[in-house]
Amino acid sequence: MTRLLHRAIHGKMPVAVGGKGIELFDAEGKAYIDASGGAAVSCLGHAHPAVIAALHEQLDRLAYAHTGFFTSEVAEQLADLLVADAPTGLSHAYLLSGGSEAVEAALKMARQYFVEIGEPQRRHIIARRQSYHGNTLGALAAGGNEWRRAQFKPLLIETHHIDPCYAYRLQETGESDEAYAARAAQQLEDKILELGAGEVIAFVAETVVGATAGAVPPVADYLKRIRAICDRYGVLLILDEVMCGMGRTGTLHACDQDGVAPDLMTIAKGLGGGYQPIGAVLLSQKIFDAFANGSGFFQHGHTYMGHPMAAAAALAVQQNIKRDRLLANVVAMGDELERQLTERLGNHHHVGDIRGRGLFRGVELVADRPSKRPFDPKLKLNGRIKKEAMARGLMVYPMGGTIDGRLGDHVLLAPPFIVQRNDISRIVERLGDAIDAALASLP
Ligand code: PLP
């Protein structure tokens, strides 16, 4: 009998014993194409020799030193690299152990910023429905995924939600992208005015929505409008790029494509590519100055922040992505993935939408294409697809999303940046078969 909680709850699971490139292997010798990078984590693939060597070297030199007493060369190097490539205005990096920790820290930085500059009355956070920012309580409160939140309500921190920018479901027929971007962004201004113009701390959003919606990018101009509204009311913009960042969409940061720079940005998954747990907050000079000229510190901290092993992994992963110019492959193979998905599934009766950017793609399934009616969530279509995909040696990330009480099943694809054309063909073929088998299994 297993004593491992997640396994005890999930039931039977394959035992992972190894990985190489884009594949993982189980104890029975079966290979799985990692077409979701786990949960958009494994950007360099598995067992990358240069990352392994960097980790060995770091372990020989220094495994751990508490950041309350020491800095480390490797953490300094990583911070320099992250800031050198950061969106305009982001000047410092705060290193943590994962995505939720990064979101928690960003929320607290935003709050402390206003306390430092003499606006302590600002206390509201606005986020979007159908978003996911992590499972710790602050991050969960900011998120808008009811499935994850419901059992913990009332949440300790109250947040406020507006609609996501979700063209497939929320753009009206005949409405231009421009008009939809304006309408969707207007919800933020309305919410700020409702709560009180000087009372809002920050707006938090995933640049491209990942786990809860399946790679939903904003329409053109939406984020520019959001940035302008935040500026008009002195509200900080926090972009959560834990899943969509660090090259996943074809540019280092997803927001680079929207021409927008946030005040705070969270990154994690692809940062360390799964070789070590790591996340980070990138913050603007303005926020740094408020801390430096105010209380002199950020009132936060974790035992493992700035961990040398995690920093070494992230540094090696990022250096290898750069050295091998893998973002060009993300763009080329992302286009190929979209092309092949459209060819295989574009006319499928139960595929409503295929979307995304770079190697971050989503397929949304519907019971009925014309009305976009989702499948009954009780059928657990996404779980069936996962099972059928695993049976075919394919790891994808199927989920059900929530928007205004409507549930839709989608599949998220996020293969490693090293993926090649023939791998894409195998992924799409197995996914198409898994979707058909899952649909055939419905009662
Ligand atoms: N933010 C986003 C956008 C995420 O997708 C996730 C995880 O899926 C998180 C935050 C939380 O990250 P972690 O699971 O590393 O705590």
Question: Residue range 74-81: average pLDDT?
Answer: 98
- Quote the pLDDT of residue 199: 95
Q: How confident is the model at residue 293 (pLDDT cuts 50, 70, 90)?
A: very high
pLDDT digits (tens, 9 = 90+) for 245-288: 999 999 999 999 999 999 999 999 999 999 999 999 999 999 99
Contacts of residue 364, Cβ cutoff 8 Å, sequence gap at least 6: 168, 214, 351, 352, 353, 354, 355, 408, 409, 410
Atom of ligand 1 nearest to the CA of 139: 10
Give 139 Cα–ligand 1 centroid separation in angstroms: 9
Mutate to test the pocket of ligand 1, among 103, 131, 239, 410 (most ligand atoms within 8 A of CB): 103
Give 105 Cα–ligand 1 centroid separation in angstroms: 13
Give 213 Cα–ligand 1 centroid separation in angstroms: 13
Mutate to test the pocket of ligand 1, among 242, 249, 397 (most ligand atoms within 8 A of CB): 242
Mutate to test the pocket of ligand 1, among 269, 276, 304, 399 (most ligand atoms within 8 A of CB): 269
Atom of ligand 1 nearest to the CA of 100: 16
- Quote the pLDDT of residue 256: 98
Residue 402, pLDDT above cutoff 60: no
Question: Residue range 39-50: average pLDDT?
Answer: 98
Q: Name the DSSP class of 203.
A: E
Atom 10, ligand 1: residue with shortest CA distance: 133
pLDDT digits (tens, 9 = 90+) for 331-356: 999 999 999 999 999 999 999 999 99
Question: Residue range 364-380: average pLDDT?
Answer: 92
Parallel, antiparallel or unpaired: strands 16-20 and 23-26? antiparallel
Atom 12, ligand 1: residue with shortest CA distance: 99
Question: Residue range 391-415: average pLDDT?
Answer: 83
The Cβ-side half-sphere exposure at 323, using a 13 Å CA radius, reads 9
Residue 403, pLDDT above cutoff 60: no
Q: How confident is the model at residue 1 (pLDDT cuts 50, 70, 90)?
A: confident
- Quote the pLDDT of residue 235: 98
Higher pLDDT, 6 or 157: 6
Q: What is the DSSP code string of 260-326?
A: ---SEEEE-HHHHTTSS--EEEEEEHHHHHHHHHTTSS-S---TTTT-HHHHHHHHHHHHHHHHTTH
Q: How confident is the model at residue 55 (pLDDT cuts 50, 70, 90)?
A: very high
- Quote the pLDDT of residue 377: 85
Give 368 Cα–ligand 1 centroid separation in angstroms: 31
Q: How confident is the model at residue 405 (pLDDT cuts 50, 70, 90)?
A: low
- Quote the pLDDT of residue 156: 62
- Residues in contact with ligand 1 (CB, 6 Å cut-off): 39, 98-100, 103, 132-134, 206, 210-211, 240, 242-243, 268
Does the ipTM surpass 0.95?
A: yes
Q: How confident is the model at residue 68 (pLDDT cuts 50, 70, 90)?
A: very high
- Quote the pLDDT of residue 263: 98
Three-class secondary structure of residue 162 per DSSP: strand
Q: What percent of the chain has pLDDT over 70?
A: 97
Q: How confident is the model at residue 237 (pLDDT cuts 50, 70, 90)?
A: very high
Q: How confident is the model at residue 400 (pLDDT cuts 50, 70, 90)?
A: confident
Question: Residue range 172-201: average pLDDT?
Answer: 97
Phi, psi (deg, nearest 5) at residue 85: -105, 10
pTM for this entry: 0.96
Residue 406, pLDDT above cutoff 60: no
Give 171 Cα–ligand 1 centroid separation in angstroms: 27
Q: How confident is the model at residue 30 (pLDDT cuts 50, 70, 90)?
A: very high
Residue 12, pLDDT above cutoff 90: no
The Cβ-side half-sphere exposure at 144, using a 13 Å CA radius, reads 25
Which CB contacts under 8 angstroms, 24+ apart, belong to 138-141? 138/103, 138/104, 138/107, 138/108, 139/99, 139/100, 139/103, 139/104, 139/107
Question: Residue range 277-300: average pLDDT?
Answer: 96
- Quote the pLDDT of residue 207: 98
Give 38 Cα–ligand 1 centroid separation in angstroms: 12
Phi, psi (deg, nearest 5) at residue 172: -80, 155
Q: What percent of the chain has pLDDT over 90?
A: 87
**Mean pLDDT over the full length of the chain:** 94
- Quote the pLDDT of residue 407: 62
Mutate to test the pocket of ligand 1, among 97, 100, 208, 276 (most ligand atoms within 8 A of CB): 100
Three-class secondary structure of residue 23 per DSSP: strand
Question: Residue range 123-150: average pLDDT?
Answer: 84
Cα gap 171→169, rounded to integer Å: 6
Cα gap 351→341, rounded to integer Å: 10
Residue 89, pLDDT above cutoff 80: yes
Give 133 Cα–ligand 1 centroid separation in angstroms: 5
